[in-house]
Amino acid sequence: MPYQSVFRPDLFAGQVILVTGGGSGIGRCTTHELAALGATVAIVGRDADKLATVQAEIEAEGIRGRVTTYACDIRKEEQVIAMVDEVLARHGRIDGLVNNAGGQYRQPLKDISSKGFEAVVRLNLFGGFQVMREVYNRWMANNGGSIVNIIADIWGGWANYGHSGAARGGMWTLSESAASEWAPDGVRVNCVAPGGIESSGFDTYEPEAQAEILKFPPTIPAQRYGNVAEMSGAIVYLLSPVASFITGSCIRVDGGAPNARICWNPPTPLNGTPSDKSRPYRGFHLDARPKLLTEGITKKSSR
């Protein structure tokens, strides 16, 4: 069974779209959907083996030549410049950019080291900025294009993830600034802000953070986790022609999490389980639930 996209199969025929963090999670799913919709997808990440696995998955479905891989640490300027130049040399264009690479860990602000704070900001803000800038300067300034930056549910702050909240908030305002500066060149810049999205990323957190993740669904209006296909759909929409008058905007994919204010009383079913009335869209045929949600907390803390 191929990817079950709601968009027409040839939507991105002839286009080249660059996806950072394309080896797992949201990036992997988005790569599958874009390839299914006719795009040539240049996927970027630090782990060449993960990128090769995604490429092999797509080629196994008979979609050959639509995925190329580039090992790159987006925190390093020289690697970003070389990567963008290589994509352009191979494909001759970059029509879209999905700035998805990122990561963080759970820790109170008072305990975050300067080195740890800088590392998270450098990945989630500075790295994304470098990719945006180089794609714009080397192609989009003269040819137009669409950029989608992945941020997070940062509205009202992000306690215990202050370093990532600062970086993602910076990426949001950076996107608004770029949307204004680059619109006259035909370049649109938007964001997608995920809330609790079940993906392989859940399994990378320490046990303390995983315990908090497991408490999440009953605390938000939708009463469930989102999934990577629901994220990919929002990204694809913003890349598509129907979003041609949308720039400087953000689509939240969070089940209404920021709307669950203190005056909202979560339902408390007799059996203690969240409501199942919000039905997920599961378009990604290869998606597997993270081990955290199928096996529980199994890893030991390294802190």
Summarize pLDDT for 267-287 with one digit per residue, the tens: 765 455 677 888 888 988 888
Do 153 and 258 contact (CB within 8 A), yes or no? yes
Count the helix, strand and coil residues of the chain and give each as a percent rounded to the nearest 5: 45, 15, 40
CA–CA gap between residue 216 and residue 82 (Å, rounded): 41
Where does residue 219 rank: exposed (0-12), middle (13-18), buried (19+ CB within 10 A)? middle
pLDDT at 228 over 80: yes
Give the model confidence (pLDDT) of 154-193 as tens digits. Answer: 999 999 999 999 999 999 999 999 999 999 999 999 999 9
pLDDT at 287: 86
Do 100 and 232 contact (CB within 8 A), yes or no? no
pLDDT at 301 over 80: no
CA–CA gap between residue 31 and residue 66 (Å, rounded): 10
User: Taking the CA of residue 6 as centre, how many other CA atoms within 13 Å lie in the half-sphere pointing to its CB?
Assistant: 12
Please give the backbone phi and psi of residue 140, each rounded to the nearest 5 degrees, phi first: -70, -30
CA–CA gap between residue 84 and residue 54 (Å, rounded): 20
Please give the backbone phi and psi of residue 275, each rounded to the nearest 5 degrees, phi first: -65, 150
Mean pLDDT of 238-263: 94
